[in-house]
């Protein structure tokens, strides 16, 4: 199997810096997209192993991107983890119902973030992550 690759879609530089630091320290291969357009270009070039998707991107609801992924045969089964400050139960259910594989709440917890990502890479935590 090819080396796992993670596409991080995030427009906030501080969040992006932290996520990149943690993933790169864990020796995971990471690609970055800061906009929906960059995200589409990234998975158009190469379908990653996992997408970490900020649900609040400029000009688009993250759910719209998830719908696009689910409508494309290349990415229909691609694991997509919603990363968002919306920690309310209703949002988590909305994201999962809309096609997200799981959910990681912001602020990012450095002590557990990489373990959560690895669990999603391994195909676990399909019910929305730890509560």
With beta carbons less than 8 A apart as the criterion, state whether 42 and 49 touch: no
Residue (88 or 122) nearer to Mn ion, CB: 88
Write the interaction track for Mn ion spanning residues 3-22; mark x where CB under 5 A is met and - where it is not: --------xx----------
74-103 residues in contact with Mn ion (CB under 5 A) are none
Q: Does residue 72 interact with Mn ion by CB under 5 A? A: no
To the nearest whole angstrom, how small is the minimum distance from the Cβ of residue 1 to Mn ion?
Answer: 31
Give per-residue burial for 60-88: e unless 16+ CB within 10 Å, then b.
Answer: eebbebbebbeeeeebeebbbbbbbebee
Would you call 43 exposed, middle or buried from its count of C-beta atoms within 10 A (0-12, 13-18, 19+)? Answer: buried
Residue span 29-58 as binding mask against Mn ion, x where in contact by CB under 5 A, dash where not? -------------------------x-x--
Chain contacts with Mn ion (rule: CB under 5 A): 11-12, 54, 56
């Amino acid at each position: 199997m090819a080396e796992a690759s993670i596409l991080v879609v995030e427009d906030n530089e501080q969040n992006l810096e932290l996520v990149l630091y943690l993933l790169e320290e864990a020796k995971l291969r990471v690609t970055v997209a800061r906009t929906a357009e960059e995200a589409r270009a990234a998975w158009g070039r190469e379908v990653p192993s996992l997408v970490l998707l900020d649900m609040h991107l400029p000009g688009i609801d993250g759910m719209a991107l998830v719908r696009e992924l689910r409508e494309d045969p290349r990415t229909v089964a691609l694991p997509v983890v919603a990363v968002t400050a919306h920690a309310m139960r209703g949002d988590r259910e909305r994201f999962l119902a809309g096609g997200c594989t799981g959910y990681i709440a912001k602020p990012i917890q450095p002590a557990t973030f990489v373990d959560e990502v690895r669990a999603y890479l391994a195909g676990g935590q399909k019910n929305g992550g730890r509560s």
